[in-house]
Amino acid sequence: MKKTFNFCLLAGLIAASALTSCSDDKMEETVLPEQTSSAKIDQPGDLEKICYYVDNYWSSTAVLKTSLQNSTDTNFMNGQMTKIASLWGRSNPTLRFVDDPSNFGSTYNAISYSTGKIYYGYAIYYDAKSKGGDIVNAMILAHEYGHQLQYIFGLPSVSESTARPNELEADGFAGYYLRRPNGYNKTNFTEIAAAYEFAQSIGDYQTTSPGHHGTPAQRRSAVRLGFLLGQYDLSASNFDYNFFYYYQGVLNGTYKMAKNKVNPEIDAYMSQYIDELRKIQTGEISAEEFKNLK
């Protein structure tokens, strides 16, 4: 998940922050979804050898930390990380936070790495909290953990020339977590929809770009579908099957008439929402109407 603002770069780095944030775990190789196993691994340059350097996906002056600006925020995020991983029967990935005293806006990002790490920027955390409260950060973190599930289980089962299936499914995982009673336990979709309006603004219309995440309307329908599937206790692989069974049929305008033989109970439940999902995807249900769905 990424959103970038242009800020003036301030010269220098606060030495004390760099020294207190030094950690061995940030020097390991990291791989993002769009990288292939055959990608060339470059030898570390001068910046990589410096203690405070995070990696090439962050500013050269960014600092890796184990906490946010106060213990309340840190405890919330660590607690959410435990709940999200436990929901899927997994242990916690490594959660770290990224600050940049020289260029705060450069940390408007959250990245999930295939090496079992999630790096969460200060800027995106505090903007999300100010605009939508704790639930927004819980949702973003659940989205990033969705990518961890993809790494672990070889998901998504659907592939395209862009990152859209990966990102939409991660949105679905987030919607699922927010509803589950052993997750964030929100049964009222209006709360989730209002929070999601912050995150879905990262959607884009660059449909041929490798980094395409899905349009805002498609991402709304993905989190709605994940929320609906939250009615049931699913494994990651079963979630993947059901997510794409319904999502693709709706997106293509040709809902599969054959019954979902793997999960007939889910199929009976989902049949009442197919037209709604189609209208979300096409924009017939507006962003404002989306917030009022039950």
pLDDT at 19 over 50: no
What pLDDT, on the 0 to 100 scale, is given for residue 211?
86
Average pLDDT over residues 245-263: 69
- Is residue 10 scored above 80 in pLDDT? no
Q: What is the pLDDT of residue 227?
A: 97
More confident position, 294 or 259: 294
Per-residue pLDDT tens over the stretch 140-149? 999 999 999 9
Region 267-280: what's the mean pLDDT? 90
Residue 272 has pLDDT above 50, yes or no: yes
Q: At what angle do helices 189-199 and 216-229 cross, to 10 degrees?
A: 150
Strand order in the sheet with 94-99: 63-65, 94-99, 117-121, 110-113
Averaged pLDDT for residues 119-137 = 95
pLDDT at 198 > cutoff 80: no
Element (H, E) at 63: strand 63-65
Residue 154 falls in which region: left (phi positive, over 0), alpha (psi -120 to 50) or beta: left
Residue 18 pLDDT class (50, 70, 90 cuts): very low
Per-residue confidence (pLDDT) for residue 25, from 0 to 100? 47
Confidence of residue 252 (pLDDT cuts 50, 70, 90): low
pLDDT tens across 227-243, in order? 999 999 999 999 999 99
Angle at 111 between CA 13 and CA 212, to 5 degrees: 120
- The percentage of the chain sitting over the pLDDT mark of 90, rounded to a whole number, equals 59
Average the pLDDT over each of 1-10, 150-159, 247-256 and give the range with the smallest value.
1-10
According to the model, what pLDDT value does residue 46 have?
72
* Encoded amino acid at 25, one letter: D
**pLDDT value for 206:** 86
pLDDT band at 100 (very low <50, low <70, confident <90, very high): very high
Q: Which range, 133-142, 209-218, 252-261, is most confident?
A: 133-142
In this predicted model, what pLDDT tens digit does every residue of 45-79 receive, in sequence order?
777 667 789 999 999 999 999 999 999 999 999 99
Cα distances from 44 to residues 21, 105, 167, in angstroms, run 19, 25, 29
What predicted TM-score, i.e. pTM, was given to this entire model?
Answer: 0.84
- The helix/strand/coil state of 133 is coil
Average pLDDT in the 92-115 region?
A: 97
Report CA-CA distances (Å) from 202 to 5, 64, 249, 270.
12, 24, 24, 27
More confident residue, 94 or 7: 94
